[in-house]
Structure 1
């Protein structure tokens, strides 16, 4: 069975990441593109000999699922519309602009009985799976993570939503998700740092495990860095996530999405998990605002 997937959005993320992976996936058919700018959607569709739709409704009529690559607030609205039409949804992270939007999206998915998956692409890389297997053998008790990029160094080219919120909203979902996959669900979070600068997280995981994560998006650095280490009485293991996650991981993500749609069963990284990650991130932002800076006397 070939799953017809429509592309929603025609920006950089859609054109450089999602569209090539969607087109390369043998289990999916590139059903077409819709974006608020018809010119942009027509240009992207032409690269893949796909159809550019003039209305979102028309795209939904011609596909089994949609892959959304739009700003979080728009994604919550468009994703809910697709779910109400009983279309499966592949969601970028964060899944919505705020918790209320994420909760509404979850309700729409549940009511429509739609399959959902969040684009946590690290999870689909073979090297990441081997890392998680190795992490389990350490009998893990704790870990650490790091994500450093330059995505906010040029404010003129950065997406407005990325500049409006803390760096943890941009870099946090993949990092927190991988720490969770190795150590268990996050049950508490503490934060320190600068919302627009260096952001530190202390995460408590179920089962009495702990991890720390550092995030920064204003480094003049290429390529970016993303690393995770896990420790336990059985040893330690680490992974360079940038080196581990290439284009093949995005293609694997689409294969896994197509499989979930065909089975009618959402994966563990579904919209409910996306809401949980957003709750962790917003709890961190709230903790930072509430606690504020502190000074240690000399």
Structure 2
């Protein structure tokens, strides 16, 4: 299979650390160029820099996004209209309206889409989910705690500081519990999105789970934790010892060549956003 030529939108820290190296590494993808609102940042990524995003679209088969959610929602719709496959970050957008418009654009233009829900591509996660299917699960719990919103952390960006852990790491946690215990059918939330958020999730088939989210904890924090319990035993997610991004690139290339069909597509991203928004509305109160 020839490498898929992928244009990158965005040139921030995560683009420099993850997206650009992943796409340039090959053999499944090729970094065809970069567009960013700061051309000087884009120039550091080792690929042609385009002044106009339309020029980037003209020189690639697919487009990867590493920009704030509101910007992704706006520009990915343009890429879909140009017939480009989309590699999308979470969350899909900054609002449910933006997420719906993007998912609708993907469907309308018939382009392939795939989301970088990083944990789902790790070998340990797939082993964990296989074990969950064996144990007839009825419950589970998860925690994702960090200090990203404190000090001058490179990922303490304005949208994260405004919306907190629920919009940022919430999609990761909800997605994995959804995969482990069954489709999430309801959510109850309490706490504060910028401090500590607790979620009670109801799953198709009757399972329930709890999740704790925080990005304002000082000092050393434990790694993410996921555990599921069932009638046939239990499953705990082990620490990662591989690079999930290699699998992201490989599966995205396959998704592009097949014209879609990845389970973590824009429609799935919309469903996750609907759960997040429901929780945010509960935290905001009447």
1:116 is the counterpart of 2:117: no
Deviations for 1:185-214, whole angstroms, at most 9, x for unmatched residues? 111000111221010000001111100000
- Tell me the TM-score normalized by structure 1: 0.92
1:77 matched residue in structure 2: 74
Q: Let me know the Cα RMSD of the aligned residues.
A: 1.4
Q: Count residues in correspondence.
A: 284
1:215 matched residue in structure 2: 213
Describe how 1:1-298 pairs up with structure 2 within 5 A.
Answer: 1-45=2-46, 50-154=47-151, 157=154, 158-222=156-220, 225-240=223-238, 243-244=239-240, 246=242, 248-290=243-285
Deviation at 1:80, TM superposition (A): 0.4
Q: Helix, strand or coil: the match of 2:263? A: coil
Q: Helix, strand or coil: the match of 1:279? A: helix
Deviation at 1:222, TM superposition (A): 4.7
- Tell me the TM-score normalized by structure 2: 0.96
Give the Cα–Cα distance (whole angstroms) in 2 for the partners of residues 77 and 245 of structure 1: 35
Which ranges of structure 1 fall in alignment gaps of 5 or more residues? 292-298
Deviation at 1:149, TM superposition (A): 1.1
Q: Helix, strand or coil: the match of 1:151? A: coil
Give the Cα–Cα distance (whole angstroms) in 1 for the partners of residues 231 and 141 of structure 2: 16
Deviation at 1:22, TM superposition (A): 1.3
Deviation at 1:155, TM superposition (A): 5.8
Q: Helix, strand or coil: the match of 2:172? A: helix
Give the Cα–Cα distance (whole angstroms) in 1 for the partners of residues 141 and 222 of structure 2: 17
Question: Which aligned runs of 4 or more in structure 1 are off by greater than 3 angstroms?
Answer: 221-224
Given that 2:7 and 2:56 are in contact with CA atoms closer than 8 Å, whether structure 1 keeps it comes out as: yes
Deviation at 1:154, TM superposition (A): 1.9
